Structure 1
């Protein structure tokens, strides 16, 4: 697909406010202790944007600020300040809210294959480390009457599950002012720091996507079923998930495509890191659905030979890796956090092992992103800005909720090789390149 470069639209800021919780945070909750996983994570923002066609209310900005204020009463740590890498001062200083006008139709942004969808966030915000406010929201008005609502929340406070729940609760409160969001922040009650250990040093991850491109691939329900049937036939796994089959298939295609760029065509030793939600293991079922915070970990599989690059074998490896992760976290000690702690004491960076190409997969397929309804229906499109670094693949459910969108960020040369990989074309459609 040829890259179409269109001018970046002009943006006019209509207002910028600080929104505070509608009720003060109780004294007993004024200090939010961070779990060991929280400490191990960076303070990078997690950004999502939701596009809507011609909502009806005229007072959208005031309506959404009022509902945001009510939502922050439940999500009070986001209205506070990081005191250090072990705690948040929940002092109700508030979050940043902007209203802007983008001087073009919404279709220009959605159809432009360059990375213009970041325009619905405050400038330079997506994926950067926090700069004073732990949550930032923006409402963008387009000339056609459509709007975009973006939200970026600090990863130090919560993971993708938490961010999705926050945005859905904000939307529900906008639809109905009588809604009272409820959430349980796990704090350091789950995965506490090892006894007598000092706080982890605050990790800083710098978003680096220079010389990178992002392509959004779409996997339809029928193609997913074909992949699942193939995996089941070869491995006997009865219920391969869409996350497993898409992760394995994309990893195989990427590694094989990169191989074709080498003069001698060797298979490069590679690793697939996959983030996983550990709520089912770390919390009672009654708390999992309303839990907020960082309840995630990661597992890894490695490949060094051609005969390992089979989708069914890769799915089996992923299943085994996740089962191993769950076995670790069942002991209520997060070994990933401990490993990171040991490496930071030595001055190393996480995942800095030499000799392997590394690919990072994260899935929000089961998160209700397309259920975010502020009162004018489901979003026409949900967008994720490019980033935060090369070889990052984010999987999300599509609007019909039966397929998968895969947002792939890689350096330009490797992306060009992936675009030419024929097997990928058999199972996935290229929706957007930027």
Structure 2
């Protein structure tokens, strides 16, 4: 559908939402775990899009839904009480659960939902978020949770969330959004309340201990000359890609392994092409992938245990290596098996910190091209029904962190949406890669009727 005007999001109102019940005094201080301490200073973004399927006056419908979201968010904050608090102390941070609240932003956009979803713009998606994803320092974080409800002219809406990475990972975000949705629709038995206690498993370090252990800090530095693009792999193309990536070493690559290997291959080819044109020698490349600890630790940790329960594996490709899908998949499988074995024997804190140190050093290194992949596949974001149906699309937004790859499920659960943020010159080469385009569609429309 053609759009004959510029899309604009207008902020109507900002409000502070406090918990419906006060937090007991004995829960006022919430310790962060050691993984929370070293997590990057940024917000985790998520945007959920809902059509208007109700009959009636659009203004009345949107007003009722806005009121309903505020009430249910207040009730949800009673269970997620740290999100209504504030981070205290910079060197040894903890959350003071003082019930000061989360921020809720109400906004309007001058188009229909179907118009926007016909060609979703990764940069325009940032307008559906209540704040920038990027933060420069922990002292600048006032709100741990910010929410924006944006209503389309048709009565459809987008719910955009920014959750502090110092408190949460992708699994915690899924727990929060589905708890809120369950409370909103009044389905008491359809959601699980959060569990706390990550700091008991992974105790925080005070300032002197952190210095003694050379505690790494993951720093993601925003860059202006980056571009974000979305590529969608449907189920049929993923099956074909998995078949091509299979080998004697890995007979059945997973969806994520196959897609990750292809993206890594394309980025390496783009980088090497750039270096050749600049008369530079090929560079080494690394692929860092986040993994959810909850499923890998024995005994298994509950899905609703909140906090940053994230591990990493890093694989490298030398400058002289032949870039090959099967080889890259084999590297990834070997690395994840090593991670599974390690966590299956319990959490070795020093070993985990060594991996994070390697990752943090790679982020700062100019000697190697480092790509950072986060997979949100299989997290139940599409189950978030607030009382007016499940979302027709769930997305992130454009970011300015270089060499970032986000993988998310498509709505049917079988496809994968890949969000790539690269330097503009490198992105142009990746975007024209024939192998990538053989398996992925660049930014297709979201059809939901």
Q: Deviations over 1:363-415 (max 9, x none)?
A: 00111122221112121221211124011000000011101000011111111
Correspondence for 1:357 among 364, 369, 378: 369
Deviates more, 1:151-160 or 1:126-135: 126-135
- Give the Cα–Cα distance (whole angstroms) in 1 for the partners of residues 51 and 204 of structure 2: 46
Cα 1:99–1:338 change in 2 (3 A) is same
Match of 2:299 in 1: 284
The alignment partner of 1:73 has SS state of: helix
Match of 2:170 in 1: 160
Cα 1:133–1:193 change in 2 (3 A) is closer
Correspondence for 2:85 among 80, 83, 87: 80
2:381 is the alignment partner of 1:402: no
The alignment partner of 2:311 has SS state of: strand
Correspondence for 2:289 among 261, 274, 294: 274
Deviates more, 1:154-163 or 1:200-209: 200-209
Match of 1:91 in 2: 98
Following superposition, the deviation at residue 52 of structure 1 comes to 1.1
2:259 is the alignment partner of 1:251: no
Q: Is the 8 A contact 1:235 1:316 kept in 2?
A: no
Correspondence for 2:331 among 317, 322, 338: 317
2:425 is the alignment partner of 1:413: yes
- Give the Cα–Cα distance (whole angstroms) in 2 for the partners of residues 160 and 336 of structure 1: 23
Following superposition, the deviation at residue 108 of structure 1 comes to 4.2
Q: Deviations over 1:43-67 (max 9, x none)?
A: 3110111111115344111101111
Match of 2:58 in 1: none
Q: Deviations over 1:82-116 (max 9, x none)?
A: 11243111111110011111222234433254611
- Give the Cα–Cα distance (whole angstroms) in 2 for the partners of residues 351 and 303 of structure 1: 16
Q: Deviations over 1:7-43 (max 9, x none)?
A: 7533333322111112222222211111110101123
Cα 1:16–1:204 change in 2 (3 A) is farther
Cα 1:350–1:33 change in 2 (3 A) is farther
2:150 is the alignment partner of 1:135: no
Following superposition, the deviation at residue 240 of structure 1 comes to 2.1
Deviates more, 1:261-270 or 1:332-341: 332-341
Cα 1:370–1:402 change in 2 (3 A) is same
The alignment partner of 2:13 has SS state of: strand
Following superposition, the deviation at residue 349 of structure 1 comes to 5.7
Cα 1:412–1:430 change in 2 (3 A) is same
Q: So what's the TM-score if we normalise by structure 1?
A: 0.89
Following superposition, the deviation at residue 281 of structure 1 comes to 2.9
Cα 1:22–1:113 change in 2 (3 A) is closer
Match of 1:192 in 2: 203
Q: Is the 8 A contact 1:105 1:144 kept in 2?
A: yes
Match of 2:309 in 1: 295
Q: Is the 8 A contact 2:109 2:150 kept in 1?
A: yes
* Mapping 1:53-72, distance limit 5 Å: 53-56=51-54, 57=61, 58-72=63-77
Following superposition, the deviation at residue 185 of structure 1 comes to 1.8
Cα 1:314–1:204 change in 2 (3 A) is closer
2:55 is the alignment partner of 1:43: no
Cα 1:342–1:379 change in 2 (3 A) is closer
Ranges in structure 2 where 5+ consecutive residues have no aligned partner: 55-60
Ranges in structure 1 where 5+ consecutive residues have no aligned partner: none
Cα 1:388–1:211 change in 2 (3 A) is closer
Q: So what's the TM-score if we normalise by structure 2?
A: 0.86
Match of 1:216 in 2: 230
Cα 1:382–1:209 change in 2 (3 A) is farther
Following superposition, the deviation at residue 270 of structure 1 comes to 0.7
- Give the Cα–Cα distance (whole angstroms) in 2 for the partners of residues 283 and 13 of structure 1: 47
Q: Is the 8 A contact 1:21 1:71 kept in 2?
A: yes
Q: Number of matched residues?
A: 424
Following superposition, the deviation at residue 331 of structure 1 comes to 4.0
The alignment partner of 2:178 has SS state of: helix
- Give the Cα–Cα distance (whole angstroms) in 2 for the partners of residues 178 and 112 of structure 1: 35
2:152 is the alignment partner of 1:117: no
